[in-house]
Amino acid sequence: MIQRVKCLFLLSLFEMCLTVVVPRLMILVCCLQCSIGNGATAILAGVIAQVLEDSLGHIGPFQGAIALTVFALVLILRWEENYGESKEGDHGTSSVYRQFTDGWKLVANDSKVLRIGLIQALSEGGMYTVSSHVLLLCLCWYPWRLLLNRILPSMPTSIPFLLSFCLNNKVCLHVGPHSLINESSWRCANGMRLLCTYDGHYHRWNCIPTIRTLLCN
Amino acid sequence: MMAITIGGIVFQPLEHFFATKITTKAKAPELSAVFSYIMASLSMSVPAICLCCAAANVCFERVLASFLVIEFCVGLSSPIAGILRSKYVPDAYQGAIMNIFRLPLNVVVVSGTHATDVLEQYQVFGIVSGLFLAAAALQATLAMDGEVEKKQVKKD
């Protein structure tokens, strides 16, 4: 829950700062680079998480996440403050209450803003719904189970490998698609790792039966 | 993740195509968004139809491909959403407006997640397909608004 609150808070903050810091003409380039960087970072995060896990144990990826968060904090400290004022220095009229009441009025009066908001709610809602559903389908649907049973028990657990099965960077926890450092795939892999059991006899990790018992029954 | 990244890379050529071949540069993001949401809706209709009416083994490749397409659409729609918000929502109200619409967003997510417990899988995919289609329809009205306004200006 703390993670979810933190993500929503940071998402709002990132997007507000994006519109203030980045000139309007550069928003396209910036959004584009964020989208590409987001995917590339998530793949890299999976690999780094595996390396940290190998060297520091199960808690390694979490310690790495702390280090990354501190690094992000250092970067954020250099940003200029965004009070949400319509004119520079107009802090007095930009209280949270005022912004929300004015925001509601704007939504009520401008159908384009209403439609943009609804489009965002419908499309992102659909994406998050399908993400959680894809995980269930991956683990419970018969053809996927055949594939997973065939490959996974014969291999040691590998975070990038599990990630490829997630098929989606948001399958485990609902995290917005706009976060600059995409931690959801990281957490997805670690969430799966927590559900795996180590089979000492065959010296291998066994994940799927445990997860399937939890989700499919 | 690769599909999302590819979606992000493809956005600029796609927008250029819409701007040069189909509409004006100003309306290209709106049309790109319509295209992206329709593609997402179609891709989600594949598992909905397959899981409902076809044998499971027949559908495996199609369902896998549809998941990759939806990922591609996520990558594609991510920059478009940012651009459209900056275009239509005033800077001073970005935070407030975004938070206001988190309410329906989370209602959709909670309802959708609950639906996975009470409905069949194909029904949930059908609902998700419908959500994307509704988003595409709303986006199309935004794209058409500009065209209507332009025609009215020409008449005047």
Model pLDDT for residues A160-197, shown as the tens digit of each residue: 444 444 433 333 333 333 333 344 444 444 555 545 55
Q: Would you state the pLDDT for residue A196? A: 54
Q: Which residues of A touch B77 (CB under 8 A)?
A: 123
What integer best gives the mean pLDDT of chain B?
78
Neighbours of A136 (CB within 10 A): 18
The pLDDT, as a whole number, for residue B6 is 77
B155 min Cα distance to partner chain A (Å): 23
- The predicted-structure confidence for A74-132, as pLDDT tens digits, reads as follows 887 877 665 655 565 565 566 667 777 777 888 888 888 888 888 888 888 888 777 76
Q: Does A6 touch chain B (CB under 8 A)?
A: no
More confident position, A31 or B152: A31
Q: What global pTM score does this model have?
A: 0.64
Q: Which residues of B touch A99 (CB under 8 A)?
A: 92-93, 95-96
- A87 beta partners: none
Nearest to B136 by CA among B39, B22, B11, B49: B39
Is the model's pLDDT at A149 over the cut of 80? no
User: Residue B142's closest CA among B62, B88, B96, B79?
Assistant: B88
The closest alpha carbon to A127, from B61, B108, B34, B46, belongs to: B108
- What domain range is B72 assigned to? 2-155
Looking at the complex, does the CB of residue A93 fall below 8 Å from at least one CB of chain B? no
The count of domains in chain B is 1
pLDDT at B125: 85
Which of B35, B89, B110, B145 is most worth mutating to test chain A (most A CB atoms within 10 A of its CB)? Answer: B89
Contacts of B135 in chain A (CB under 8 A): 118-119, 122-123, 126
CA distance B105 to A125: 5
pLDDT surpassing 60 at residue A206: no
Confidence class of residue A213 from pLDDT cuts 50, 70 and 90? low
| CA gyration radius, chain B | 18
More confident residue, A159 or B32: B32
Average pLDDT, chain A: 64
What is the model's pLDDT at position A143? 59
Query: 3-state class of A156 per DSSP?
Result: coil
* pLDDT at residue B5 in the model: 73
A113 contacts chain B (CB < 8 A) = yes
Highest mean pLDDT: which range of A56-60, A159-163, B51-55: A56-60
Taking the CA of residue A79 and the nearest CA in chain B, the distance in Å comes to: 17
Residues of A in contact with B4 (CB under 8 A): 35, 38-39, 42, 169
Tell me if A169 and B4 make a contact (CB, 8 A cut-off): yes
Best to test chain B binding among A122, A128, A139, A183 (most B CBs inside 10 Å):
A122
Residue A165 has a pLDDT of: 41
| pLDDT higher than threshold 60 for residue B70 | yes
Cα–Cα distance, B30 to B84 (Å, whole number): 7
Mean pLDDT, rounded, for A35-40? 72
Whether A103 contacts chain B with CB within 8 A: yes
Cβ contacts of A167 on chain B, cutoff 8 Å = 67-68, 71
Residue of chain A whose alpha carbon sits nearest to that of B91: A19
Asked if A39's CB is within 8 angstroms of B1's CB, the reply is: yes
- Measured in angstroms, the CA of A36 and the nearest CA of chain B are apart by 5
Q: What is the mean pLDDT of residues A198-215?
A: 53
CATH number of the domain to which B32 belongs: 1.20.1250.20
Task: Give residue A8's pLDDT.
Answer: 64
**What is the average pLDDT across A48-68?**
83
Mutate to test the interface with B, among A11, A97, A124, A144 (most CBs of B within 10 A): A124
From chain A residues 38-67, the ones with a CB under 8 A of any chain B CB are 38-40, 42-43
A95 to chain B: nearest residue by CA? B96
**ipTM surpasses 0.90:** no
Q: Closest-CA residue in chain A for B4?
A: A39
* Nearest residue of chain A to residue B11 (CA atoms): A32
CB atoms < 10 A from the CB of A5, how many?
A: 9
* pLDDT score of B46: 85
What does the pLDDT read at residue B66? 83
Mean pLDDT of A30-40: 71
User: How much is the pLDDT for A164?
Assistant: 42
Res B37 pLDDT > 80: yes
Per-residue tokens: A159: 């975070």
Is residue B110 very low, low, confident or very high in pLDDT (cuts 50, 70, 90)? confident
Confidence of residue A157 (pLDDT cuts 50, 70, 90): very low
| pLDDT value of position A87 | 60
- In angstroms, the separation between the Cα of residue B152 and the nearest Cα of chain A is 18
Handedness of CA B121, B123, B127, B128 (dihedral sign): positive
Residue B156 confidence (pLDDT): 54
Of residues A51 and A91, the one with the higher pLDDT is A51
The three-state secondary structure class of B73 is: helix
Kindly determine whether residue A177 and residue B98, on different chains, have CB atoms separated by under 8 Å.
Answer: no
The larger pLDDT score, comparing residue B81 to residue A18, is at B81
Q: Mean pLDDT lowest for which of A45-49, A94-98, B20-24, B152-156?
A: B152-156
